[in-house]
Structure 1
């Protein structure tokens, strides 16, 4: 369904049921205000408070997904919108589901030869004390422990001593039954947004992140001004181009569309970039990095929101067929 601003009725999906609900409301509120400023008939819609059936019943023609985390970024709401026949922003069902699962993402990237830190994945039945205690020897120290299917650094810990691994594992498994431990790459933290589809996907300017003591955690991401963001990144031109090439390849390998943002570590010893994760519904708050990068490319927040809305589509544009 083509987007026509005169006839479109847009639901900005925000809030939801995930651990990132508060951030989603901040993102969605910004998007809603921006779209309304462009003359779009847009309203807020919280799937935690209303049935998605209301979207069809109330005549919504498009959905802007400003949900983060589970049920919003993992293919669940995308599948519901496919069944309702309502075009939506961002990646489709399969790409959303794969990108939300950091282990699956790593498997795909590794399969196509893209660099990502070494890792150990433990299913619930494999999370014995011996297996958990063996992780530091396998990956070295320091290392990162996190839930594979959460975002915004929720449940994540940096382990610097072997005796910290048990507490880190307990925290991560509060948010996900599976456990992911990852090699820690010492170097510069970067992120890079991507816009578009398939061969037309393009990377925006790289953002370099300088967090206090390297603690780019949930609080620093959204609720303090202690983190410094550099865009332009200040990287040598060849390094910036290589990071951009890598993130577009990572985006396409997962089958993403519309937009996304890839987090990267640039290893200090040899300046090699390593892919950390793909965000298919990135933050759009006042602290968020996609709008910052877009501004550096000459795209205002309002224009970015409208551009993303205009890209809304379905995996199967013909819609579900009645049986």
Structure 2
């Protein structure tokens, strides 16, 4: 049987670079080597693309705090517009072996915000996960909340502040509208990067300053008191939802370190202790949100479930972590889809979408 050639692109320039390295390692370890030939392309923090060998692509691979990309001497570049030979060696412009599909596991900005997806589309390379629109919409917490509101799906009340207006935002006004504590977040970051929980005026302005270091737009949100429920979604036109799980943080909130570095930072309860009615509500809302935000392939939908049974969406992550303590693959494993099969399904969904896209006309005159 001819193997499918899969390019795994990982790393990147975002603050989630190290998380991406962990995710790539887990995908490489779990992918079915009988079905797939894997090519590794690591993006360093300066944005250079490196063709990596599977035996040496990571440094300190077992230490999440010290893990690093082992840069190679073989840099590659992508060639837009070509039906074949989309990737070339920079030194001599010789083409890489043709790849059938890309698994882009580049978290954060320039990876899951539509930038990389647009480049792959221009290069005619099928890829795992949502396309340009779904990726960019979900990455921007402000835009995602507006669309979810329009779809009748509950989200936390909030204020959006852009950099030119950052000195005009006032703690007392925010407190009157949202109460305290409140959360301050970069609009276009994931994995709790740059997120602060604030209770007073001093913390408020410090958190604004911290958030603006990561983005030109910041979201200030009310604190929703509730259980942190997560649900994984898989599919294209007819997506399905996993069994819901629950995050039980051992810290004040589910921080970057709790998610990816400290295995004791939170407990994952899978399945979550929910009634059958609550499970249906979470799964139905997860799929509705997935469709409302034009997602394809995969997404993890994060909720707050309040004491009175109200369900609020916190965010939708279109390239969720695939580390050994990540919720997305764990939810599907408990739902009956093992890690290796999950990767295969995601690749199949990418190829299915590419085949459907190829049927669209690109000319008016026959």
The normalised TM-score by structure 2 is 0.82
Matched, 1:87 2:144: no
Question: Whole-Å Cα distance in 2 between the matches of residues 101 and 41 of structure 1?
Answer: 34
Q: Which residue of the other structure, out of 341, 345, 355, is the alignment partner of 1:307?
A: 345
Relative contact order higher in (CA < 8 Å, ≥ 6 apart): 1
Name structure 2 gaps, 5 residues minimum.
50-76, 80-85, 89-94
Moved more, 146-155 or 118-127: 118-127
Deviates more, 1:67-76 or 1:155-164: 155-164
For residue 281 of structure 1, the aligned residue among 302, 308, 319 is 319
Task: Supply the RMSD in Å over aligned alpha carbons.
Answer: 1.9
- Aligned counterpart for 2:106 among listed residues 49, 67, 75: 67
Residue aligned with 2:26, SS:
helix
1:212 maps to 250
Deviations 1:162-202 (A, max 9, x none): 3321011011111001111011101101111000123x111
Alignment of 1:101-140 (within 5 A): 101-140=140-179
Say which one has the larger Rg. 2
Change in Cα spacing, 1:45 to 1:36, as seen in structure 2 (3 Å) is farther
Label 1:83 to 1:273 Cα distance change in 2 as closer, same or farther (>3 A): same
Deviation at 1:139, TM superposition (A): 0.8
| Aligned residue number for residue 99 of structure 1 | 138
How far 1:130 moved relative to its partner? 4.5
What is the alpha-carbon distance in structure 1 between the residues aligned to residue 30 and residue 87 of structure 2? 21
Contact 1:32 1:43 in 2 (8 A): no
- Matched with 2:329 is 291
After TM superposition, the structure 1 stretch with the greater mean CA deviation from structure 2, 33-42 or 65-74, is 33-42
Determine which of 21, 25, 31 is the counterpart of 2:27.
31
Q: 1:159 aligns with which of 178, 193, 198?
A: 198
Deviation at 1:43, TM superposition (A): 1.8
2:272 to 225, 233, 240: 233
Contact 2:32 2:340 in 1 (8 A): no
Q: Would you say 1:52 and 2:78 are equivalent positions? A: yes
In the alignment, is the contact (CA less than 8 A) between 1:120 and 1:182 conserved in 2? yes
Gaps of 5+ in 1: none
- Whether contact under 8 Å (2:171, 2:201) holds in the other structure is no
Greater per-residue helix proportion: 1
Superposed displacement of residue 61, structure 1: 1.7
Number of residue pairs matched? Answer: 316
Q: Tell me if structure 1 keeps the 8 A contact 2:232–2:299.
A: yes
Q: What residue in structure 1 maps to residue 209 of structure 2?
A: 170
Aligned partners of 2:4 and 2:35 also within 8 Å: no
Higher strand share: 2
Tell me whether 1:201 sits opposite 2:239 in the alignment: yes
Q: Please name the residue that 2:55 is paired with.
A: none
Q: Which deviations, in whole Å up to 9, do the C-alpha atoms of 1:50-74 show, x marking residues without a partner?
A: 2233636321121011111111101
Q: Which residue of 1 aligns with 2:6?
A: 10
1:318 to partner: Cα distance = 5.2
Q: Which moved more, 1:221-230 or 1:44-53?
A: 44-53
- What SS does structure 2 have at the residue aligned with 1:79? helix
- SS of 1:134's partner is helix
Contact 2:3 2:34 in 1 (8 A): no
